[in-house]
Amino acid sequence: MAVTRSRMACRRSLVLALLLAVVLVAGPLAEVADARPRRRATSGRRAKKRPARLRTARGPGPCKWRGGGSVHPLCNRRGGGIRLVVVTNVPGTNMSVNQAWAPNVTSFVQAARAAGFDLQAHDGAGPGQGSFRTAAMQRELRRRGYPANRPGTSMHEWGLAVDLLCNGKLFIDDPSNHWCREWVRANAHNFGIYVHPGEPWHWSSNGR
């Protein structure tokens, strides 16, 4: 009798452990599925081999936002900053973007490369100025007369915008990178990347 009871207890704890494992695995998997771009990259295998480097940066004002007692989904729960990813999957690409948007940008850059076009962030105003910017960088750009948003209002501060160079040229009408720009305009939306209506070089997660 005692043996049967201990067997039943053993089975019960086994079932509980299995349920716990399913909950622990299913949660993070659902998050990963949400962050995935709509179209798969042609060379996704390479992206897995070279995982992107992570660093955390202080975000702008909205990172202090609290809705229903939880931290904004783009913010790092511990540090209060946003989680940044340096896109390293394609050599020579100098983009630092939000962890939530990084899979989109990585697939986008890889697909462009496969089509024969090189995409980079335009760091003409200084190192790192073409993708993620802190509020201080944003202020400095304005002081120097660049058409940058007020600190706290730019998608660059969220790591959700990139000022694109297409085959090494700024994203403006130039016959030498015409086909690169055409490719970006035709394909970016497949990766959740949209152009600002007034700034043809500024591509972000929402077109702002």
Which residues of the chain form contacts with Zn ion (CB under 5 A)? Answer: 163, 202
**Rounded to whole angstroms, how far apart are CA atoms 39 and 20?**
32
Q: Which ranges in 43-177 belong to alpha helices (H)?
A: 44-49, 102-114, 135-143
| C-beta of 47 vs 195, nearer to Zn ion | 195
CB 105 within 8 A of CB 95: yes
Nearest distance, CB of residue 114 and Zn ion, angstroms: 25
Residue 75 bridge partners (DSSP): 82
| C-beta of 112 vs 121, nearer to Zn ion | 121
Nearest distance, CB of residue 17 and Zn ion, angstroms: 50
Nearest distance, CB of residue 62 and Zn ion, angstroms: 17
CB 107 within 8 A of CB 39: yes
| C-beta of 47 vs 156, nearer to Zn ion | 156
Nearest distance, CB of residue 199 and Zn ion, angstroms: 6
Nearest distance, CB of residue 97 and Zn ion, angstroms: 12
Residue 161 bridge partners (DSSP): 204
**Rounded to whole angstroms, how far apart are CA atoms 17 and 21?**
6
DSSP code of residue 64? G
CB 101 within 8 A of CB 161: no
Nearest distance, CB of residue 147 and Zn ion, angstroms: 9
Torsion 116-132-207-42 (CA) sign: positive
CA nearest neighbour of 156 among 57, 80, 31: 57
Backbone angles phi, psi at 112, to 5 degrees: -65, -45
The residue number with the shortest CB distance to Zn ion is 202
90, two tokens: 């394609």
